[in-house]
Structure 1
Amino acid sequence: MSVLSEEVPFAGDAIVRPPRDGFVRQVRSRLFATKGDTALTLVLAAVIVAFGTFALDWLVIGAAAPWGSAQDCAAARGACWPFVVEKHRLILFGTYPYEEQWRPFLASVLLVGGVGASMLPSFHNRRLLWLWGAASIGFYVLMAGGYLGLESVQPERWNGLPILLMLAIFGLVFAYPLGIGLALARHQSQLPAIRAFAVLYIEIVRGVPMIMVLFLGLFVLPLMMPEGVSLSPLLTTMIALVFFHSAYFAEAVRGGLQAVPDGQFEAANSQGLTYVQKVRLIVLPQALSKSMPEVMNTVLGAYKDTSLVVIIGIHDIMATAKMAFSDPGWQHYGLEAYLLVGVWYLITCWCLSSYSRWLERRTS
């Protein structure tokens, strides 16, 4: 009898598939197969029940109602939702003029919408360049003002969520192609000087902490500018982020380049393709596909690390959260402020990781 007939026996013309285990049997085999598995399952179940009970009590049962006041929060044993209602605009938009906060809201929607459109395969062409060009111009016009009758707002008052999105998105958008260039220079360049520069740059940047790069960008880069040329702290911070993340992208892409078989290079050479044609049409598509999991992991890490800019005085959403509970009337509710920030990071990082898994399945 063949192997096929043993695994999937035939009954006439119909295929008889082996019966699947029931739900109870699957649970028993996965959670209670041995005494050790049973003990671990019971301990974890007890922890989950205890944590769930505490979370339910703190978030709902013992919490102050959102329409309450600070006095209601003082009497409550749980979360202070009136604090979130009162301070959510400060957490999201910081010191941006209160009556103009619809502008940073729309600017944030533009950037988030641009990221969402970038995830659609139908936009993986030149339309994506036009989309981001329009989104970038729209973001600047909304945030800075001075155009279309909008009140001018200085960059020092740009705070909160728009700053987080701006630094993370534009920093990654410019760092990725720079990282691809560095990876090609390190892996394929025939010129020793270019390869040595790429190796030196990547190893030095990856060998120092991100905070050091941010401080260099904020305090050293302006000193290197020609006389009369000044850079805003936001711009210098973004440049520092681009330089830092590009080194990590370079190593991720270099791993993909090393995974491309040598036969692909030989086949391209046999067809008489130029170096640019070989890289653009044959090498890079395969290398980027193979390096996609590591690239997306770098994107997630870089997005979360953007919150470190608070150390150099850039008021992103972490800094505005601290500003919110610095109010003397709401000093005891920092947990609620950071919970709101944590929910934002959880949702956005979950979306990025889900897209990463989908993209990996699609390109495999």
Structure 2
Amino acid sequence: MTISTTARYSALRRVVVSAFSSPIAAVLSLLSGAVMIVVAWNAFRWMVLEAIWPWQGAALCAEASGMCWPFIVEKIRFILFGTFPYEAQFRPALVSILLCAMTLLTCRQMLGKSPRLRVNQMVGLWALGICLSFSLMAGGFLGLAPVDPVRWNGLPVLLMLSIIAIALAFPLGVLLALARVQKSHWFLSRFASTYIEITRGIPMLTILFVGIFVLPLLLPANTSISPITATLTVLVLFHASYFAEDVRSGLLSLPTGQSEAAQSLGLPYWKMTRLIVLPQAIQRCLPSLVNSIIGAYKDTSLVVVVGILDLTATARMSFGDPGWRAYGVEAYLVVGIWFFLSSAYLSSVGKRLQKNAPR
């Protein structure tokens, strides 16, 4: 082997060693890259090169092997809003935009970006946004026709059940975590521990069935509750237990000197918790907390089992027509893209929060 060949071999080996931890890792990475290239090429060919575009007409979809874009154009409103009255679908569209805007605003507040609002202002905006969302969907005021909750379908239902449930479950989870770790009131600690362990030990579907079929029976006579409200209540109570354990892990990771120093300065419990303990605890538990939020957001699709038609259910219904039964992949592609983009955004916010957290 000549000197130049030896030098090239050594340089190549240094590159491989710096890029991969071991030869097995290098082989697996290269194989994964090759598979991803093949999958990406086939997806591009199906979605673009062999696709039937909207201006070509839906009749050509039966003979083509690519994606049928006319199906998306024809069924996109049904996928997004389901059986909500067609002439009033601007209302669920406004609700979806409102909830997405509230989420973006909250994420910007967490990242320290403008507009900067105080906590009480954010709480007030969320209370107003939740009330406005239910009012727009229900109607019955300002000339808006009333719509039965049974016809609330698609994207707004997904956002209402996920975003509102997370927004209400997080503060409840914080209170449960604080109650579980405190040692002054044993009853609160035992109650929080029992509630968290029981809720985390029961499958989500079981709790959903209890909320839909048992909760209405526990209400006073002549009192009714819509399936959306019952499901939202159950999701808040369920997700709060998971958020509580995430926050508790952050609380337990704090050195005891933090609270002892605050107590030595004469700070009352709630002021010490709000200004010193909770900010540090939440920063420490951000990875698990963001993971729980994304999981709670995606798990909302399980409500279809109890008869609530979210985005996944309306996508399945969209290709139920005899003329469109072959295009289920196109319908679920819309759902997959939505969940991928929204979950990726939440994940990026969590990474930036962790990166910007003081060490």
Give me the TM-score of the superposition, normalised by structure 1.
Answer: 0.88
Which residue is equivalent to 1:340?
334
| Post-superposition offset of 1:101 | 0.9
2-structure distance, mates of 1:207, 1:66: 49
Q: Quote how far apart the aligned CAs of 1:228 are.
A: 1.6
Deviates more, 1:50-59 or 1:177-186: 50-59
TM-superposed deviation, 1:55? 1.2
Q: Distance in 2 between matches of 1:264 and 1:46?
A: 51
Deviations 1:97-117 (A, max 9, x none): 111111111111011001111
1:322 aligns with 2:316: yes
Hey, what's the Cα distance between the residues in 2 that align with 1:26 and 1:238? 56
1:3 maps to what in 2?
none
8 Å CA contact 1:175, 1:243 repeated in 2? yes
Give distance in 1, aligned partners of 2:26 and 2:282.
Answer: 44
**1:181–1:44 Cα change, 3 Å:** closer
The CA distance in 2 between the partners of 1:33 and 1:291, in whole Å, is: 29
Quick one: which amino acid aligns to residue 293 of structure 1?
A: P
8 Å Cα contact 1:145/1:151 also seen in 2: yes
The number of aligned residues is 342
What does residue 193 of structure 1 align with? 187
1:212 to 2:206 alignment: yes
Matched residue, 1:94: 82
Matches within 5 A, 1:279-358: 279-358=273-352
Structure 2 partner of 1:268 = 262
The residue matched to 2:326 in structure 1 has which SS? coil
Q: What is the rounded CA distance, in whole Å, between the counterparts of 1:176 and 1:46 in structure 2? A: 42
* Contact 2:174/2:244 (<8 A) preserved: yes
What residue identity is the alignment partner of 1:109?
A: I
Give, in angstroms, the shift of residue 147 of structure 1: 1.6
Contact 1:214/1:309 (CA < 8 Å) preserved in 2? yes
The CA distance in 1 between the partners of 2:20 and 2:238, in whole Å, is: 48
Higher mean displacement: 149-158 or 234-243: 149-158
Is the counterpart of residue 65 in structure 1 residue 53 in structure 2? Answer: yes
Percent of aligned pairs with the same residue?
A: 48
8 Å Cα contact 1:70-1:330 kept in structure 2 = no
Give unmatched runs, 5+ long, in structure 1.
1-22
Distance 1:182 1:26, change over 3 A: same
Mark the CA change 1:355 to 1:25 in structure 2 (over 3 Å): closer, same or farther.
farther
Q: CA RMSD in A?
A: 2.1
Structure 1 position 28, deviation (Å): 4.9
Q: Give runs of aligned pairs for residues 121-132 of structure 1, distance below 5 A.
A: 121=112, 122-123=116-117, 125-132=119-126
Mapped pair 1:165 → 2:159: yes
Q: Match for residue 77 of structure 1?
A: 65
2:55 aligns to what SS in structure 1?
Answer: coil
Distance 1:179 1:34, change over 3 A: closer
Structure 1 residues 319 and 32, CA gap change in structure 2 (3 angstroms): closer
Aligned residue in 1 for 2:32: 44
Whole-angstrom distance in 2 between the partners of 1:31 and 1:57: 31
- Which one of 240, 248, 251 corresponds to residue 234 of structure 2? 240
Map Cα deviations across residues 235-285 of structure 1 (whole Å, 9 max, x no partner): 110011011100000100100110111111211221222222222222222
Distance 1:46 1:287 in 2: 42
Distance 1:69 1:58 in 2: 17
In structure 2, relative to structure 1, the CA distance for the partners of 1:219 and 1:69 (3 Å cut) is same
- Checking the alignment, whether the CA contact within 8 Å between 1:325 and 1:332 is kept in structure 2 is yes
**Residue 349 of structure 1, CA deviation:** 0.3
Given the superposition, is the C-alpha separation of residues 26 and 300 from structure 1 closer, same or farther in structure 2, using an over 3 Å criterion? farther
Cα deviation digits, residues 146-190 of structure 1 (max 9, x gap): 222222211111100000000001101111111111111111142
Contact (CA 8 Å) 2:16, 2:26: kept in 1 or not?
no
Larger Rg over CA atoms = 1
For the residues of structure 1 that align with 2:128 and 2:21, how far apart are their CA atoms? 58
- Aligned residue number for residue 8 of structure 1: none
Whole-angstrom distance in 2 between the partners of 1:342 and 1:24 = 40
Q: Provide TM-score, normalisation by structure 2.
A: 0.90
Distance 1:312 1:258 in 2: 37
Select the residue among 139, 142, 146 that pairs with 1:148: 142
Name the stretch that deviates more: 287-296 or 32-41.
Answer: 32-41
Relative to structure 1, the CA distance from residue 282 to residue 329 in structure 2 (aligned partners, 3 Å threshold; closer, same or farther) is: same
Spell out, residue by residue over 1:178-229, the C-alpha distance to the aligned partner (whole angstroms, 9 max, x if none): 1111111111142222211111111111011110110111111111111121
Secondary structure in 1 matching 2:343? helix
Deviation at 1:40, TM superposition (A): 4.1
Give 3-state SS (helix, strand or coil) of 1:123's partner.
coil
Could you tell me which residue of structure 1 aligns to residue 92 of structure 2?
104
Contact preservation (8 Å) 1:31, 1:41: no
Stretch of structure 1 that moved more, 35-44 or 138-147 = 35-44
52-61 or 137-146, which deviates more? 137-146
